Amino acid sequence: MNSPRIVIVGGGAAGFFAAITCAESAPGTEVIVLERGPQFLAKVKISGGGRCNVTHTCFNEREFATHFPRGERALISPFKRFQASDTVAWFAARGVKLKTESDGRMFPTTDSSQTIVDCLLNATRQAGVKLTANCGVDVAARRPGGGFELSLPNGESLSCDRLLIATGGCRTPALGQIAVSLGHTLETPVPSLFTFHIATPWLRALAGISVGTVKASVAGTGLHERGALLVTHWGLSGPVILRLSAWGARALHEKNYRFALHVNWLPQLSDETLAREFQTRRNSQPARLIVNSPIAPLPARLWEQLVLASGAARETRWAALSRSTQHQLIQQLLRTEFQVTGKSLNQDEFVTCGGVRLGEVNFKTMASQVCPGLFFAGEVLDIDGITGGFNFQAAWTTGWIAGRALAEPGNA
Ligand SMILES: Cc1cc2nc3c(=O)[nH]c(=O)nc-3n(C[C@H](O)[C@H](O)[C@H](O)COP(=O)(O)OP(=O)(O)OC[C@H]3O[C@@H](n4cnc5c(N)ncnc54)[C@H](O)[C@@H]3O)c2cc1C
């Protein structure tokens, strides 16, 4: 009997992990990776600012899954089979050590994504995987007797017994076209992980400032997050904004990225605590200028701008702080309202919300429930995580599970 031929469309993180797992599990199986671009693993190369944030140091599968605005439930059982600790062990077994940063992100100890690219390329070579670049597949048809016929860019066609689609995020519906032509439904793609445009002049003047913990919420929705905030030249970024953009990817898209954002700069303090603090300052430092006496832990420049934005004059001293200005200042500190007028993709990491509908895929094998012999892995699915290594882990996990299933003859 001829050995089965397995084709993997997409030479990214998920495609490579599936190819290596399949070829190592079933030696003798012909495993071919077809990549549209000139380079394999191009996103791995640029990921994490060139360092590749491979995974996150969270070794409980349920907790890990909570970092996925889309895919949380579906990913719990896959993570039970291949989770972050397995990724660490997988790379260690191939000579690549990972280290953990204080926020839980894991990187190769070399701080270079090339280490990960080289490791994956070596592993495919050793496992005998055939790699073909500059080979985009736009049409895949089922053969009447089982298996698939793929149309290649050189006009030739390639047949295979099992097919894995690992083509990455469907930023436009056209990128999910193979899945749709084989009977699948695409959840409409919209961006996730983006930063907010805000034109408020005093905010822009603070570009570069970061605040350790703020609470940010989107008016009229239940969306709210706590975390570090970064002021940029065009508005706001930082973990708290990226998390809001991920959890609110669909809701904010529906608002055309125009909405009111509330920022509480001192979420650890209440209106009453602040009022008491102001009274203490009236008594203890009546002659001091308000703009010159920030409340910790706010940076001095930010405090100054918040005081001025509340309507207090620059020369106001604590003794002269009126009740109404105090009220405005507390409002500003705990409930600054910004008008968001657009978004930018985050430079360090972005992903697509949307993709192949999860209910149409069996997460025990990553096999299609619609088309026999077809499998999916990675961001082509309607799965996306917040920043921190979660998106690669989803690619490794789903790629590994698909690779195992592709290697089993019963899955033809
Ligand atoms: C700038 C940036 C930095 C990132 N950094 C991180 C990070 O540090 N940590 C993290 O966890 N996540 C990060 N991400 C997200 C992460 O890169 C993706 O979630 C992950 O790459 C998804 O893997 P994938 O294999 O599903 O898709 P991809 O890595 O996108 O690979 C899909 C491949 O398929 C190819 N392809 C597409 N269509 C076809 C076709 N029709 N025929 C043939 N080939 C095709 C594409 O060219 C591509 O090479 C980052 C994303 C970006 C954009």
pLDDT band at 175 (very low <50, low <70, confident <90, very high): confident
- Closest CA to ligand 1's atom 6: 47
Q: Which residues contact 369 (CB under 8 A, 6 or more apart)?
A: 359, 360, 361, 362
> What's the pLDDT score for residue 340?
98
Structure tokens at 252: 């904010």
Q: Which residues contact 170 (CB under 8 A, 6 or more apart)?
A: 176, 186, 189, 352, 354, 355, 356, 380
Q: Whose CA is closest to 309, among 187, 205, 166, 179?
A: 205
What average pLDDT score do residues 175-188 get?
94
pLDDT band at 346 (very low <50, low <70, confident <90, very high): confident
Q: Which atom of ligand 1 sits closest to the CA of residue 15?
A: 25
Check pocket membership of 71 for ligand 1, CB cut-off 6 A.
no
* Average pLDDT of every residue of the chain: 96
Q: What are the tens digits of pLDDT across the range 350-390?
A: 899 999 999 999 999 999 999 999 999 999 999 999 999 99
Q: How far apart are CA 390 and CA 197, in angstroms?
A: 25
DSSP state at residue 142: E
Number of Cβ within a 10 Å radius of residue 63: 10
**Long-range contact list for 276-282, CB < 8 A, 24+ apart?**
278/318, 278/321, 278/326, 278/329, 281/318, 282/318, 282/319, 282/321
Do residues 258 and 247 lie in contact, with contact meaning Cβ atoms separated by under 8 Å?
Answer: no
pLDDT band at 279 (very low <50, low <70, confident <90, very high): very high
Q: What are the tens digits of pLDDT across the range 48-85?
A: 999 999 999 999 999 999 999 999 999 999 999 999 99
Do residues 4 and 29 lie in contact, with contact meaning Cβ atoms separated by under 8 Å?
Answer: yes
What's the residue count for the chain? Answer: 412
Check pocket membership of 403 for ligand 1, CB cut-off 6 A.
no
Check pocket membership of 48 for ligand 1, CB cut-off 6 A.
yes
What average pLDDT score do residues 156-161 get?
96
Check pocket membership of 136 for ligand 1, CB cut-off 6 A.
yes
What average pLDDT score do residues 239-251 get?
97
For a substitution probing ligand 1, which of 47, 160, 375 has the most ligand atoms within 8 Å of its CB?
A: 47
Q: How far apart are CA 81 and CA 178, in angstroms?
A: 28
**Long-range contact list for 275-279, CB < 8 A, 24+ apart?**
275/326, 275/330, 278/318, 278/321, 278/326, 278/329
pLDDT band at 262 (very low <50, low <70, confident <90, very high): very high
pLDDT band at 349 (very low <50, low <70, confident <90, very high): confident
Cα–Cα separations (whole angstroms), residue 143 to 70, 148, 160, 407, 409: 33, 5, 9, 20, 18
Q: How far apart are CA 195 and CA 114, in angstroms?
A: 27
> What's the pLDDT score for residue 1?
53
Question: For residue 323, what are the β-bridge partners?
Answer: none
Strands 5-9 and 162-165, how do they pair? parallel
121: three-class secondary structure by DSSP? helix
Instruction: Give percent of the chain with pLDDT exceeding 70.
Output: 99
> What's the pLDDT score for residue 172?
80
pLDDT band at 140 (very low <50, low <70, confident <90, very high): very high
> What's the pLDDT score for residue 277?
97
* Chain Cα centroid distance, residue 32: 28
Q: Which atom of ligand 1 sits closest to the CA of residue 167?
A: 34
> What's the pLDDT score for residue 411?
59
Q: How far apart are CA 288 and CA 303, in angstroms?
A: 15
pTM confidence score? 0.94
Cα of 262 from ligand 1 centre, angstroms: 33
φ, ψ of residue 240 in degrees (nearest 5): -65, -35
Structure tokens at 116: 């990960």
For a substitution probing ligand 1, which of 349, 356, 396 has the most ligand atoms within 8 Å of its CB?
A: 349
Check pocket membership of 392 for ligand 1, CB cut-off 6 A.
yes
Q: Whose CA is closest to 55, among 1, 91, 12, 6?
A: 91
Q: In what order do the strands lie in the sheet with 55-56?
A: 55-56, 105-108, 98-100
Q: Whose CA is closest to 248, among 213, 220, 268, 290?
A: 220
pLDDT higher than threshold 90 for residue 409? no
Helix (H) or strand (E) segment spanning residue 148:
strand 148-151
Structure tokens at 117: 């690219």
Q: Which atom of ligand 1 sits closest to the CA of residue 40?
A: 49
Q: Whose CA is closest to 385, among 396, 374, 375, 376?
A: 396
77: three-class secondary structure by DSSP? helix
pLDDT higher than threshold 80 for residue 19? yes
Do residues 161 and 8 lie in contact, with contact meaning Cβ atoms separated by under 8 Å?
Answer: no
